[in-house]
Structure 1
Amino acid sequence: MTVSTLEAGERGAAHAPPGARARARPWLYLSPLVVALLVWVYGPLVFTAVLSFMSWNLTDTHLSWLGTANYARLVDGRDFPRAARNTLVFAAVLLPFATVVPMSLAIALWKRPGRVSSVYRALLFLPVVLAPVAMAITWQFLLDPLSGLVNVITGRLGLGTHNWLGDPATALYAVGFITAAKVVALNVLLFGASLASLDRGLLEAAALDGATEWEITRHLVLPHLRRTIVLLGMLSLVVVWPWIFANVAVLTQGGPDGATDNVYYRLFTYAFTFFDAGTASAAAVFITTALAVVLGIGLLLTGRRRRDFA
């Protein structure tokens, strides 16, 4: 490239409209992120959506077009509807542990600041840093029907022993309770972060005016946490499933008699037990759509709360 060419390029850049350069500069900074999203997020989503209309055995390179047969197989079969029902039960079991329980603990710790409160907060957060598989194996020993600590305690209390993970009537609730420990631990921290922005002077002023502890909580603390309750309730139902998957995979493998099967473990079974990538992709599209609806409802409710209290 000659010197005259470089000079011409510099003159052209100098005469370029400043508005165009200003508009292009943010996209230059965002381009690595956009490329990463296209390659690692939206590209696989599009591929999964296309694959959901095809038949592909993961052990073979041959693909064939099936249309909506994979979706029909999900709807007409017995396994996926049962897994969807179990998923809703899991969500119902975990929702109080994602909202009411951690919110109550966070409020109690926030009202009594100090070193002891920090120690309790650290102990509550401990389940989050533990590996899900290690935690599941620990609970497998604790819930052992013959020598587990839980049955030893219930036996000495005269409540008898029970096969918590082997009984279809209790297995789902046992797995849900095990997962709830992580949900509570994480959301206590998040509720505490939300409470950090609440002025303690308001509580002190209300107490001086004669307000009771319950009145302060009801009229000052809870309205401050309304948006956080809705948001964490929705987000917890989205992010909690990898923990449930780990517990189900280690403790019950979807049993007994499909009692702990859920849509995530069913997707894994389609893909890596039956090697049916098409049906697994259809299940993934179903799950992604359901999660998008849940997040949309959460954002809608949060936006309404924001307008109501603006």
Structure 2
Amino acid sequence: MPWLYQTPVLVSLAVFVYGPLLFEAYLSLTNWDLIKPDQDFVGLANFRGLFGGEEFPRALSRTGLYVLVMLPFATVVPMALAIMLWKRPGRTSDIYRALLFLPVMLAPVANALSWRFVLDPLGGIVNVVTGGLGLGERDWLGDPSTALAAISLVTAARFVALNMLLYGAALAAIDRRCLDAARVDGATEWEITRRLVVPQLRGTTILLSFLCAVFAGQWTFTNIAVLTQGGPDNTTDNVYYRLYTYAFTYFDAGTGAAAALTIVVVLCALFGLSTLARRVAGTFGAPDRDRPTTRLAAALAAPLTALTRRRRAAL
């Protein structure tokens, strides 16, 4: 009876995943203040109130803005760092990799508190540097024009550190012999990186873009709660902090559950788009023997080799 081996996993999923999800869906249809035992059924009133107001749609759009701001820090910057460290293997690269990974090792609250001292308007390191350069000092977290950018950069440091490690794992699967062959043919390092290395990181980039969309809002929640509490003037608010505010500040569990269910639907849609993009990119579906890394690298190296030969012929 093979199904007996699946029972522990199915029970765990039912208790810790699908059970709470169903209870959340039920709460989204009720009016409950988390104190009284009565849970009045109100239907879709919570969803109408959620999208009929201005707070949640603005928080939703601001969450999308967080994702757009942090997307380069989740893909381009860590990819560049990972490639540079990968091309210079050795003890020094390991030290740099460990130092860059420190933001992930710190507890989120401790990390946010450390950034509070860095961005402090009275004697913070950033203001000391900008003041010394003659750029003036400002309240980075208290100014509506800079608060969202400050929260984004604080969160982006974690993305850079973690994704650099993931890109490094993807780079370890690349066959260096194809790169050596391209060098023998006269290709420059920039051409090798652009035509051979980066295309083989396409699947990883799609995956990390999806993870950025998923975790950008979650990781900014701690920084918002510690540094700005959604201010100034709700300019740093996002859907996760808005959900927390509905449920545990206003004690409106129904609206909070409706917001949470909306987030689940959005994340499921993003997962579907990510899966489709990875299928189009050729990273899903085909068996390994049909798409080995060496064959992909050889196919990518073909136009580069032809370009190099044309250059030699021209000379």
Same structural fold, with TM-score higher than 0.5 when normalized by the shorter chain = yes
Query: Secondary structure in 2 aligned to 1:166?
Result: coil
Contact 2:155 2:220 in 1 (8 A): yes
Task: Write the distance in 1 (CA, Å) between the matches of 2:34 and 2:276.
Answer: 40
Aligned-CA RMSD value: 1.2
Aligned partner of 2:298 in structure 1 is: none
Identity across the alignment (%): 57
Counterpart CA distance in 2 for 1:112 and 1:178 is 28
Aligned AA (1:132):
P
For the pair 1:251 / 2:227, whether they are aligned, the reply is: yes
User: Is 1:146 aligned with 2:122?
Assistant: yes
Deviation, structure 1 residue 236: 2.2
1:171 is aligned, of 137, 147, 151, to 147
Describe the SS at the equivalent of 2:129: helix
Aligned to 1:68: 44
* 1:102 aligned residue (78, 85, 88): 78
Distance 2:112 2:277 in 1: 34
Aligned to 1:93: 69
Corresponding letter in the other structure for 1:239: F
CA contact (8 A) 1:252 1:260 kept: yes
Are the counterparts in 1 of residues 217 and 238 from structure 2 also a CA contact under 8 Å? no
Deviation at 1:82, TM superposition (A): 1.3
Q: Distance in 1 between matches of 2:111 and 2:205?
A: 27
SS where residue 43 of structure 1 aligns?
helix
- Give the whole-Å Cα distance in 2 for the aligned partners of 1:197 and 1:77: 50
1:211-290 matched pairs, under 5 angstroms: 211-290=187-266
What is the letter of the counterpart of residue 268 of structure 1?
Answer: Y
2:111 corresponds to 1:111: no
Unpaired stretches in structure 2, ≥5 consecutive residues: 292-315
Partner amino acid for 2:279? G
Unpaired runs of at least 5, structure 1 = 1-23
- How many pairs align? 286
Q: Distance in 1 between matches of 2:275 and 2:141?
A: 36
Residue 235 of structure 1 contacts residue 295 of structure 1 at CA under 8 Å; is this kept in 2? no
2:6 maps to which residue? 30
Q: Shift of the alpha carbon at 1:77?
A: 1.1
Measure how far apart 1:203 and its partner are. Answer: 0.8
| Deviations 1:171-211 (CA, angstroms, capped at 9, x unpaired) | 01100000000000000000000010001111111001100
In 1, the alpha carbon distance for the partners of 2:219 and 2:264 equals 17
Equivalent AA in structure 1 for residue 233 of structure 2 = D
- Which of 81, 97, 105 is the matching residue for 2:57? 81
| TM-score for the superposition, normalised by structure 1 | 0.90
TM-score normalized by the length of structure 2? 0.89
- For the pair shown, the structure with the greater C-alpha radius of gyration is 1
1:127 aligns with 2:122: no
Q: 1:239, CA displacement in angstroms?
A: 2.6
